[in-house]
């Protein structure tokens, strides 16, 4: 069975600093995808970044980068130059390759950015 573990219930960072949100996963699949989503207090799930299990380079999307360490089964999200608008809940998720495979989510990390 697939499982996502996020061990940081809450993280605090000051504006303009970088922050790393931890995520480890467990799966017996050889091919899978890893995702990070942001959920502000308004409730919508906003896709941030994707990393495929066979991708050799770490994914980057603007201020977001994914530190993928396959042997350690970790997929940490790094947010550079934090902004006040980054304050939200962040979820790590994974899914297999088959069409129609549901996402498996972790419990999330609440990020608070202060000025």
DSSP, collapsed to helix, strand or coil, labels residue 84 as helix
Looking at 52, 61, 81, 114, which residue binds other proteins (CB under 8 A)?
52
Are 23 and 77 within 8 A, CB to CB?
Answer: yes
Range in contact with other proteins (rule: CB under 8 A) among 20-28, 62-70, 79-87, 96-104? 96-104
Range in contact with other proteins (rule: CB under 8 A) among 12-20, 32-40, 65-73, 78-86? 32-40
DSSP, collapsed to helix, strand or coil, labels residue 36 as strand
Element (H, E) at 51: strand 46-52
Chain contacts with other proteins (rule: CB under 8 A):
4, 31-33, 37, 42-45, 47, 50, 52-53, 91, 93, 95-100, 102-108
């Amino acid at each position: 069975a697939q499982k996502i573990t996020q061990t940081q219930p809450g993280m605090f960072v000051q504006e303009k600093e970088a922050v790393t949100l931890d995520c480890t996963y467990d799966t017996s699949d050889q091919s899978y995808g890893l995702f990070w989503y942001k959920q502000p207090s308004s409730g919508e799930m906003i896709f941030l970044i994707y990393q495929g299990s066979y991708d050799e380079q770490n994914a980057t999307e603007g201020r977001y980068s994914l530190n993928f360490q396959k042997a350690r089964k970790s997929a940490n999200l790094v947010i550079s130059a934090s902004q006040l608008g980054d304050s939200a809940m962040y979820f790590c998720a994974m899914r297999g390759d088959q069409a129609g495979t549901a996402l498996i989510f972790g419990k999330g990390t609440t990020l608070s950015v202060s000025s």
